Amino acid sequence: MRLAVPLTGASCPWDGQTGRHVVEAVEGAECRARVTPGWQWLAVLAVFGALLPSCAPKTASLAPRASASAPRDAEQRIVALVHDWFAVLEGGSHESRGLDGFVAEPSFELSLIGASVRNLGELESWRSNLRSTHPELEYRLDTIRVALVGEDLQRARFEFERRAVDDGGVPHLARREHSWLVRDVPGEAPVIVRIDERPLLAFQGTGPQIICY
Amino acid sequence: MKAKTIFLLSVFAMLLLPGIGQSSSEKTLPIHDGIGGEFRAQSSLGREVSLSEYRGKVVLIAFGYTSCQDICPATMAHLQLLLKRLDAAADAVQVLFVTVDPENDTAAHLEEYLARFDSRFVGLTGQREETDRIAELFLLNYDRSHDIQLTTEYNRSKAFAKRSYLYAHSQQIYLLDRVGRTRAFFFTGTPLDEMEGAVLALLKEPAAGPDVETAVVEWVVERDSASAD
């Protein structure tokens, strides 16, 4: 039996049916196990269970704790919001969907390169302009990092690459960094309060490098 | 077995077809949105120049400073070699060197420095605000390190030797098309073949301005045709 231990303090609930730890999509966390049936299973588990309380297969820990799962749920909601936003911008099957449900009306601000958007009219105008100048759009998102910054407020930061083709068939590339402020009230859909956009050079994950002296 | 072989050959041929007759230089270079833009600055020509002045030419922009002992001279030498390779097509190419040290790199000093590489290179300087704005447009980062004594012969011969300092700065070379849009990034180590291919590809794009040097463009097309034969 080989047991890979979690690298962080993330909880690793045990699935009794499959005999595996349930892996949660927490960045930097890893929790996997290969189980040999029989007495070895019990013996080794007993030893490691004592050493690794966060991964010990205790019956009491199977039920998710409300306080621990709430931030996790919030993170998933924000990440889903980001993905949905860009899916709508890409069009395709989301072509007919509006952006009005994404923003915190009436008070929101999108500080984008070349545009400052403060109301729904400006938002649809910006989207329409984007679609007309770039008929083909594709967004590639990097890791989205979410952090609680205030009561019912989450901050999402990520980089992305926008690949587009204009009317003349010329490809366009743009790399951007986004910082989103999202209002996330329990029981309601999260909405964007503010987006700040910053241009980046097209070197993934590096930004502008200083290398010459 | 035979059917399987035919199937595999068909798949192989399909994979190859899109690439037939298309060299890397013929691929359309992407436009990098949000990087670059119009600017004006004092120049080594002794007058103010703007980027739009070079409309119709392919422009290569490098940032640096003349006291740089590291990458900057190597970058300029690299660009010098590129222009030599481009031969007559180099007349439709403009190299701009933007200083990050405008206090020391005066227009006259830039002219002297750049002439060591190629007298066609143009240096841009001026007030700190002007060069900062160009750096901002091109997402160029730099930082000044104070109180570092430089010991090169060149600096010893200059009056400002005792107050010299180093700049850390991004060192990419920007390739702009004939209407001033950023189309590629190079580095000092980028193979000259690759750089030459990209420049020629931009020169062959449809004319974008009234002052396009069509003769040079025709020369490029003819040269490529001859080499293809």
**How does pLDDT run across A173-183, given as a tens digit for each residue?**
999 999 999 99
Q: CA B162, B163, B168, B171 torsion: positive or negative? A: negative
- DSSP one-letter string for A30-76: --EEE---SHHHHHHHHHHHHH-TTT---GGGSSPPHHHHHHHHHHH
Q: Is the pLDDT of residue A5 over 80?
A: no
Question: Considering only CA atoms, which of B185, B219, B176, B197 is closest in space to residue B58?
Answer: B176
Dump pLDDT digits (tens) for B141-180: 888 875 555 555 555 555 555 555 788 888 899 999 999 9
**B173-176 and B182-186: which strand pairing?**
antiparallel
How open is the CA angle A69-A72-A74, to the nearest 5 degrees? 110
Q: Between chains, do B141 and A174 touch, taking CB under 8 Å as contact?
A: no
Q: Between chains, do B31 and A171 touch, taking CB under 8 Å as contact?
A: yes
From CA B225, how far away is CA B208, in angstroms rounded? Answer: 22
The pLDDT tens digits along chain B (229 residues) read: 455 555 555 544 444 443 333 344 457 899 999 899 999 999 999 999 999 999 999 999 999 999 887 789 999 999 999 999 999 999 999 999 999 999 889 999 999 999 999 999 999 999 999 999 999 999 998 888 755 555 555 555 555 555 557 888 888 999 999 999 999 999 888 999 999 999 999 999 975 544 444 445 555 555 556 555 5
* % chain A with pLDDT above 70: 60
Question: Considering only CA atoms, which of A47, A45, A46, A25 is closest in space to residue A33?
Answer: A45
Put simply, whether A172 touches B (Cβ < 8 Å) is yes
In a domain, B212, yes or no: yes
Tell me, what's the pLDDT at A64?
A: 37
Q: Between chains, do A210 and B143 touch, taking CB under 8 Å as contact?
A: yes
From CA A79, how far away is CA B169, in angstroms rounded? Answer: 35
Q: Is the pLDDT of residue A42 over 70?
A: no
In a domain, B4, yes or no: no
For residue B222, give its domain range: 26-228
Tell me, what's the pLDDT at B91?
A: 96
Q: Is the pLDDT of residue A154 over 60?
A: yes
Tell me, what's the pLDDT at B37?
A: 94
Chain A residues with CB-CB distance to B169 below 8 A: 210, 212
Tell me, what's the pLDDT at A65?
A: 37
From CA B198, how far away is CA B58, in angstroms rounded? Answer: 10
Asked which of A72-76, A90-94, A141-145, B49-53 is least confident by mean pLDDT, the reply is: A90-94
For chain B, how many structural domains are there in total?
1
Q: Which helix (H) or strand (E) holds A128?
A: helix A120-133
Chain A residues with CB-CB distance to B68 below 8 A: 212-213
Are the C-beta atoms of A157 and A179 separated by less than 8 Å?
A: yes
Tell me, what's the pLDDT at B164?
A: 59
Chain A residues with CB-CB distance to B33 below 8 A: 162, 172-174
**CATH for B90:** 3.40.30.10
The shortest C-alpha distance from A42 to chain B (Å) reads 52
Q: Between chains, do B166 and A213 touch, taking CB under 8 Å as contact?
A: yes
The shortest C-alpha distance from A209 to chain B (Å) reads 5
From CA B98, how far away is CA B121, in angstroms rounded? Answer: 11
Tell me, what's the pLDDT at A60?
A: 37
CA-based nearest residue in chain B for residue A209: B170
Contacts of B202 (CB under 8 A, 6+ apart): B29, B58, B175, B177, B178, B183
* CATH classification (class only), A67-200: alpha beta
User: Is B17 strand, coil or helix?
Assistant: helix
Complex ipTM over 0.95: no
The shortest C-alpha distance from A130 to chain B (Å) reads 12
The full set of domain ranges for chain A reads 2-61, 67-200
Over residues A28-46, the mean pLDDT reads: 44
In chain B, at which residue ranges do the beta strands (DSSP E only) sit? Answer: 31-32, 40-43, 48-50, 58-64, 93-99, 122-125, 142-145, 166-169, 173-176, 182-186
Q: Between chains, do A174 and B33 touch, taking CB under 8 Å as contact?
A: yes
Average pLDDT, chain A: 72
Tell me, what's the pLDDT at A23?
A: 34
Chain B residues with CB-CB distance to A130 below 8 A: none
From CA A30, how far away is CA A19, in angstroms rounded? Answer: 16
The shortest C-alpha distance from A100 to chain B (Å) reads 26
A7: DSSP letter: S
Are the C-beta atoms of B104 and B65 separated by less than 8 Å?
A: yes
Three-class SS of A195-210? EEEEEECCCCCCCCCC
